[in-house]
Structure 1
Amino acid sequence: MLMKKLLSRKTVSKVASFAVFEGKLTLVCPAEDGNGWISDSAEAASRESWTSAIAQLINTHQLNGCRIRLVLGHGLYQSLVIDKPALPRHELASALPFLVKDLVTEPPANLIADGFEEPIKNKLQVLTAQRALVQQLVLACLANGCEPELITVDEVVLGQVTAEKQSQLILHSRQHSGLHLTAFKQQVMCFQRQLRGFSQPLTGLEQADLQIDGLALELQRSLDFLSAQLRDAPITQVLVSCDSDDNEQLADALRQRLNVPVATVSGAPAELTDFDARVAWAAQLQQPLVNLYSDSLKPQSNWLTLPNLVAGWAAGAVVIGSLAGWQSWQEYRATQLLAQQQARLTQKQTELDNAKAALARHLPSELKVRLSGELEQHLVAKQATLRAIAMHDNSLQAGYAKMLQQLAQAASQDISVSRIHVQGQQLDLEGVARHPNAVPGWLQSFSRYPQLADRRFEVMSLGRNEENRVTFMLQAQRKTEAKP
């Protein structure tokens, strides 16, 4: 049972997201049937009550064992822009608290930070949060059997509701909260701004037109700034997501005052109507562009405990005992095999001795050996004689006059034969030629003469003599001699 506990691993598949804001936590997770999303929220009067609010939501929706993604809302983190340091990505989490220590009031030891490269300039967008705050959320998830895997911020994940290949500006606000502008280039945050001096709702009041005119002016200023910065991918659309207003009415009013298209946010599921639920849903899709859940926050496993030591000793004893038993069995098998091989060796040695004794009784006499050698020599001489007789065919009896006569008829002005050697069907020729091409042409003329047509040459060599004249040598095709 103890070994099973040590070797078992937790299987997690479902992912749930929490949007954490002052006074409220919102949960979003996939529905059980896979169609649609579940959204729920719990009030939190103070940060100390976050733990109970998380436990309430996890237990209500039976999310024990799920992976958790946390989204920190506005006011729970700081956004800073610094020069991009010459550090690898995996060292940023530990180095950033010290790089921004002059820009924040908290000491580096109390901060958790991460960042990403801005699309507009060669700067680093840094996001920091208090370590105690993040640690409280992590411990609340772990206490309820869940595994945190991502901690990010609302303005970063909000890019998931924008178009993937475009640059868009989002006007957004939570219920009874201020207005914010956030621009995204291909879903990566590149600009953020808080708008002050506006009362909400923006529509439906007596001075609504005046407020919207002022809002349109602020939007236009931001659009002008972004058009100068994003020359390769200018803002193509303004999206509206304000919890306190009728977004369709607000978008229509702004559309009449701006030169760019204005629409409501449509990238999020329709059942998620408020800002908190939308950013929690966006965290489900968010790639780890920013992750404040660093290795220093992850729980460290303490394996050096008494039960683990006892289990290790027990496992070691079992392994050692098993190895000893296996070794003993192998030695027994080796002893049995050795005895069998020794018995076979004794038997074969006896058979060898008997064979040697029999061989000694059947050794041939010296006279028989000598006579056998003489007979072999006589047989070799007879075979040589037969091969010599085979070389004398009918052509030797008939003579070579006709062949020489046809060779004379095949004479060429470009060929001069200096040596002729004939033996049976073998004909060797040597001489000089006017030029190298004369020899192949002369050989082709042999086909017109019966005595020469069947002659074959296996070697033809060309060269030059001391007088720089072309010489040739033709050797006849030999018959393969039968081996004795």
Structure 2
Amino acid sequence: MWASLQQAFKKQPVQRAVAALHWQPDKCRALVLTNAKGSLECTFQVTVPVSENFTSVVQQLVAQMPAAQDVVLVLSPEYYQLVQVDKPQIPEAELKAALRWQLKELVSIEPDDMQLDYMDLPNAHQQQAPRIQAIACSKGFLQQLMAALHRAKLPVRTIVPEEWALRSLLPPQAPSTLILSHRAGQELAMMIVRGSQVCFSRRIRGLAQLEQLSLDVLQQGYLDTLGLEVQRSVDYFEGQLKQAPVKQLLLALDTELQDEIASFFRQLGFAQVETLDLTSWLTDGNPTQQAEFALPLAAAMEQLSATQQQEAGVEN
């Protein structure tokens, strides 16, 4: 999988660097990913504490971080809310304005303070109403953070939620893949991706402290519960949504027990189970430490890929 992902970037002949910031309530993890003539390399990694003084935090980053042509911002779930709703049958230009009132009763952010975006979801059949996954974030929070980044002359090209970032760790033509990811303090996230499209996502409660659990504790019902929740979601995706079967499972977990968890899923019948292996790009650190930078790495890859496609379009 990882070799074919590397191959996807070989066509970009010029050097380009992308900085990715993973903004969390207590810390910001940042890295710079450089594509030098088709060879991807992570040239910088840092973690800085986050405070209410965003300007001070950004200044700490800029003082350490090398220059980059683009910056992408990844937000942790504390800063946004995701919901799935029917897509309003109105012109695209009017959709976000309509969503503000459609989401009024579904999220805790006031309509006047909502910054919205959305992603189309696959339909089960032609008669089904189109569905979208909508994201709502506080406009006031974003304005404050973006102002600090702008003052530091960091050119933010895109902002993505955690759930939409990890898809870029898969090759563009990958079959339906279920990704299980986790970072300390968060509920375990599950997402099904086909190609570059997020087809399904949810959070699994009860495993917020996964990184602290021993194998003995995991085997006392936690793994069985996790396996049941995963199988239910796969059955819903393939049966109710009538989507192509899930072909592989990718674990991106911040625990030293990834191999044991992978073995558990193989015993459940998942034929293709892979654990996160980012050593091609993040040469320092063990798999647990690599998992901490998986989200900014994925976001940086997506930005590099988008730039590559834009430049290819200009050349053609």
Provide the TM-score with structure 1 as the length reference.
0.52
Equivalenced residues, count? 273
Superposition RMSD on alpha carbons, in Å?
2.7
Select the structure of larger CA radius of gyration.
1
Counterpart of 1:236?
247
Contact 1:113 1:128 in 2 (8 A): yes
Partner deviation per Cα, 1:351-399 (whole Å, 9 max, x = no partner): xxxxxxxxxxxxxxxxxxxxxxxxxxxxxxxxxxxxxxxxxxxxxxxxx
Choose the corresponding residue for 2:299, options 280, 283, 299: 283
Quote the Cα distance in structure 1 between the aligned partners of 2:185 and 2:106: 29
> 2:233 matched to 1:209?
no
The AA in structure 2 aligned to 1:261 is Q
Partner deviation per Cα, 1:448-483 (whole Å, 9 max, x = no partner): xxxxxxxxxxxxxxxxxxxxxxxxxxxxxxxxxxxx
Choose the corresponding residue for 2:165, options 134, 143, 157: 157
> 2:63 matched to 1:54?
no
Tell me how far 1:268 sits from its aligned partner: 7.9
Distance 1:103 1:55, change over 3 A: same
Choose the corresponding residue for 1:126, options 105, 125, 134: 134
Counterpart of 1:178?
187
Contact 2:254 2:292 in 1 (8 A): no
SS of 2:122's partner is coil
Contact 2:33 2:300 in 1 (8 A): no
Contact 2:17 2:34 in 1 (8 A): no
Identical aligned residues as a percent: 26
SS of 1:155's partner is helix
Contact 1:175 1:242 in 2 (8 A): no
Contact 2:253 2:276 in 1 (8 A): no
Unaligned runs of 5+ in 1: 1-12, 289-484
Partner deviation per Cα, 1:301-338 (whole Å, 9 max, x = no partner): xxxxxxxxxxxxxxxxxxxxxxxxxxxxxxxxxxxxxx
Distance 1:231 1:102, change over 3 A: closer
Counterpart of 2:116?
113
> 2:265 matched to 1:263?
no
SS of 1:221's partner is helix
Counterpart of 2:22?
19
Contact 1:170 1:181 in 2 (8 A): yes
Quote the Cα distance in structure 2 between the aligned partners of 1:39 and 1:79: 29
Unaligned runs of 5+ in 2: 1-15, 125-129, 284-288, 305-316
SS of 1:30's partner is strand
SS of 1:164's partner is coil
Tell me how far 1:263 sits from its aligned partner: 1.4
Tell me how far 1:168 sits from its aligned partner: 0.9
Contact 1:164 1:187 in 2 (8 A): yes
Tell me how far 1:269 sits from its aligned partner: 4.3
Tell me how far 1:99 sits from its aligned partner: 3.0
Quote the Cα distance in structure 1 between the aligned partners of 2:279 and 2:74: 16
Counterpart of 1:41?
47
Partner deviation per Cα, 1:151-174 (whole Å, 9 max, x = no partner): 111111211123433111111110
The AA in structure 2 aligned to 1:183 is I
Tell me how far 1:14 sits from its aligned partner: 4.1
SS of 2:216's partner is coil
Between structures 1 and 2, the one with greater helix share: 1
The AA in structure 2 aligned to 1:36 is E
The AA in structure 2 aligned to 1:281 is L
Quote the Cα distance in structure 2 between the aligned partners of 1:87 and 1:112: 19
Distance 1:232 1:80, change over 3 A: closer
Provide the TM-score with structure 2 as the length reference.
0.77
